[in-house]
Structure 1
């Protein structure tokens, strides 16, 4: 909540039930307004009522303070006395009036399913962690507040002694989107890290659907990534080791660049966002993934595209050049409107010295595409992988979690 100067408003202190305080905090964040303005509006509305509302249980009310226009609090106290209700009861009813008049906003869903292709043919840069973490952040519930790093402070990391140095945070509601994670890597790291097993080699798989050899409905392969904070909105299409043969199979498929799109199109209407965790490859499978992320007719710019994951070290720069060259070839050869959603610098640790800090500076100097996330190299991610739990469920307030939420908002 903003604290204006006393010349503009006056500070008032009272009590409010803890549940109402939490509801007020969440609802104002959902609507993007200050708590003080919500309380001001609630008191004004309550004072205009023709009769008292039903009493609210104020047992256990806790201290609550805010800032109101001069004179409003004194007038409100007079109204409470005239109506025969306590100050805490009157304030509670006022807050409830505002909550009733301002219900939770509907989740903003894209008109065209968003397709985020997470890639880099260099292995070990953490594509899987970024795919999973961004997907988790997009699926978090809008009825709770989650700590988010304010993205404009990326540059502060350049001067931080360690990746956990204090930066500015704010609590924001989750996007509440329906998300599908697609494990497109035959190594199956995304599948295993979310606590699931890869698909059986002799059964159905995404590879078989792309090759025109399906054994069933693709929806039957999808599993839920379970945690209350995701509310049944986060799903996974597991990997299968037959994807090691995907490039060979695609070589004989008609319009092979569109194979991934043909496979996933029947299930797109179930989701708001589909994130594809690509293998470390520049082969035909990468062509199919890039084609899937192109801008479709009528789709808004920036809705879908390629998210490139790199590290703050020299070999990532070489790999980045190869990847962008392939993307440019696809753009030119096929006339694709294929957009970059940005660059994510992963596994960043300023304690590694000049190589790390100078590399981060070099990445941030690239303005097109720009850096949209800097994720620290901290223990929580490794622990979550070992525990086979989603990071945002295992350590929801860790530095990596709040940075991933910022990334999700940058690309959404």
Structure 2
């Protein structure tokens, strides 16, 4: 089906392709920085010159797909399909597969400075820190980055939501590595998160309930500055293994948060905005009050230790415009702050709750959902 010619000299093509192929095209095009219409155009050109027959694409369960293709190219493409007796939607699916095969995920070279470190923090509970940590990490893995999520909250919501159990209290844990009671190599505690889209690039360092004792143990430590640097020292062995390490912070303003902030600081020689803090908030007044306290903690830590912590931005989460003026006016207030800026607004939809209920990563449970696309948009912004 073709609509009227567009001003750009292209025709709108509407057909059906498998949802997995459409999703792969969308993610790959965004990752390599190519418009979808240009990717499809390149794919059709490759199809026209490729040796036939091409492998058949399974189009069962195909769903609607549309894009724009140059008028002349589309006319000859349709003619080729007719001449070769290849169904139009099959030929288009083959074209997209040709483009994908010729544009693999970029090879990610590990940084000499180690992993980029992202803390997701706000001492106010219920703002969606865990969901954002998991969703953004999944999206980064889809893009070809090797990612480790650190469940730094002793409540362990991230661990549970991804279908794993807390580390045993009497065994090894991140906290034990932080306070000098390590029992082995921290790498041995890291678990893979399965999912074809992640390509073996997504991992989790689970929580342990001994995290509730962390502040008390750090207070009694005799080591200089260990109260702020223990997390960095514990995770140092993981830095060279990953492109990104995301820390799901506890809802606290104690030493645990100091450690997460220090870990995410801009290190000497590191480019600005390579690492930093993402602040999930909600469009209501209590989130603004909580941020004021967090801001004081960040500024005090930067002054005391002479460091720079980059505010990567606010994410206004669980947004439901149906709640009216309270939400819309609060969102305007967050945007008015200016720096840090609002980098995303994530709507309150059922997909994330369903993923949590089924203990399935969001981008596996609902890969085509609005929330999944929001996570991908945030990930692209962070990775830029």
Query: TM-score when scaled to structure 1?
Result: 0.76
**Alignment partner for residue 231 of structure 1, among 199, 214, 220?**
199
- 1:187 is matched with which residue? 155
Q: Partner of 1:185: helix, strand, or coil?
A: coil
- Answer yes or no: is the 8 Å Cα contact 1:113–1:274 preserved in 2: yes
- Answer yes or no: is the 8 Å Cα contact 2:46–2:99 preserved in 1: no
Q: Partner of 2:363: helix, strand, or coil?
A: helix
User: In structure 2, do the counterparts of structure 1 residues 400 and 54 end up closer, same or farther at CA, with 3 Å as the change threshold?
Assistant: closer
The alpha-carbon deviation at position 338 of structure 1 amounts to: 0.9
User: In structure 2, do the counterparts of structure 1 residues 126 and 34 end up closer, same or farther at CA, with 3 Å as the change threshold?
Assistant: closer
User: In structure 2, do the counterparts of structure 1 residues 285 and 102 end up closer, same or farther at CA, with 3 Å as the change threshold?
Assistant: same
- 2:141 is matched with which residue? 139
Say whether residues 1:323 and 2:321 are aligned partners: no
Deviates more, 1:22-31 or 1:381-390: 22-31
| Residues 207-253 of structure 1: CA deviation (Å, up to 9, x unaligned) | 11000110111111111222222222111111111111111111215
Query: TM-score when scaled to structure 2?
Result: 0.81
- 1:394 is matched with which residue? 365
CA–CA distance in structure 1, aligned partners of residues 279 and 342 of structure 2: 9
CA–CA distance in structure 2, aligned partners of residues 71 and 223 of structure 1: 48
CA–CA distance in structure 1, aligned partners of residues 134 and 6 of structure 2: 46
CA–CA distance in structure 2, aligned partners of residues 97 and 138 of structure 1: 22
Say whether residues 1:122 and 2:131 are aligned partners: no
CA–CA distance in structure 2, aligned partners of residues 128 and 24 of structure 1: 25
The alpha-carbon deviation at position 290 of structure 1 amounts to: 0.8
Q: Partner of 1:411: helix, strand, or coil?
A: helix
CA–CA distance in structure 2, aligned partners of residues 124 and 288 of structure 1: 21
CA–CA distance in structure 2, aligned partners of residues 12 and 282 of structure 1: 53
Gaps of 5+ in 1: 141-174
CA–CA distance in structure 2, aligned partners of residues 326 and 59 of structure 1: 55
Q: Partner of 2:155: helix, strand, or coil?
A: coil
Say whether residues 1:56 and 2:54 are aligned partners: yes
**Alignment partner for residue 333 of structure 1, among 288, 304, 318?**
304
CA–CA distance in structure 2, aligned partners of residues 222 and 97 of structure 1: 34
- 1:160 is matched with which residue? none
CA–CA distance in structure 2, aligned partners of residues 367 and 264 of structure 1: 33
The alpha-carbon deviation at position 130 of structure 1 amounts to: 1.4
- 1:9 is matched with which residue? 9
CA–CA distance in structure 1, aligned partners of residues 86 and 12 of structure 2: 12
- Answer yes or no: is the 8 Å Cα contact 2:148–2:203 preserved in 1: yes
CA–CA distance in structure 2, aligned partners of residues 386 and 101 of structure 1: 35
User: In structure 2, do the counterparts of structure 1 residues 22 and 284 end up closer, same or farther at CA, with 3 Å as the change threshold?
Assistant: closer
The alpha-carbon deviation at position 134 of structure 1 amounts to: 1.3
The alpha-carbon deviation at position 204 of structure 1 amounts to: 0.6
CA–CA distance in structure 1, aligned partners of residues 101 and 363 of structure 2: 32
The alpha-carbon deviation at position 382 of structure 1 amounts to: 2.2
- 1:145 is matched with which residue? none
User: In structure 2, do the counterparts of structure 1 residues 241 and 402 end up closer, same or farther at CA, with 3 Å as the change threshold?
Assistant: same
- 1:218 is matched with which residue? 186
Map 1:250-269 onto structure 2 (within 5 A).
Answer: 250-251=218-219, 252-254=221-223, 255-256=225-226, 257-269=228-240
Q: Partner of 1:190: helix, strand, or coil?
A: helix
CA–CA distance in structure 1, aligned partners of residues 299 and 360 of structure 2: 37
The alpha-carbon deviation at position 188 of structure 1 amounts to: 1.1
- Answer yes or no: is the 8 Å Cα contact 2:285–2:330 preserved in 1: yes
The alpha-carbon deviation at position 260 of structure 1 amounts to: 0.6
> Larger C-alpha radius of gyration, 1 or 2?
1
- 1:294 is matched with which residue? 265
- Answer yes or no: is the 8 Å Cα contact 2:147–2:243 preserved in 1: yes
Q: Partner of 2:217: helix, strand, or coil?
A: helix
User: In structure 2, do the counterparts of structure 1 residues 238 and 313 end up closer, same or farther at CA, with 3 Å as the change threshold?
Assistant: same
- Answer yes or no: is the 8 Å Cα contact 1:181–1:236 preserved in 2: yes
Q: Partner of 1:268: helix, strand, or coil?
A: helix
CA–CA distance in structure 1, aligned partners of residues 182 and 146 of structure 2: 25
The Cα RMSD (Å) is 3.9
- Answer yes or no: is the 8 Å Cα contact 1:345–1:374 preserved in 2: yes
The alpha-carbon deviation at position 9 of structure 1 amounts to: 3.4
CA–CA distance in structure 2, aligned partners of residues 120 and 75 of structure 1: 54
- Answer yes or no: is the 8 Å Cα contact 2:283–2:326 preserved in 1: yes
CA–CA distance in structure 1, aligned partners of residues 316 and 22 of structure 2: 35
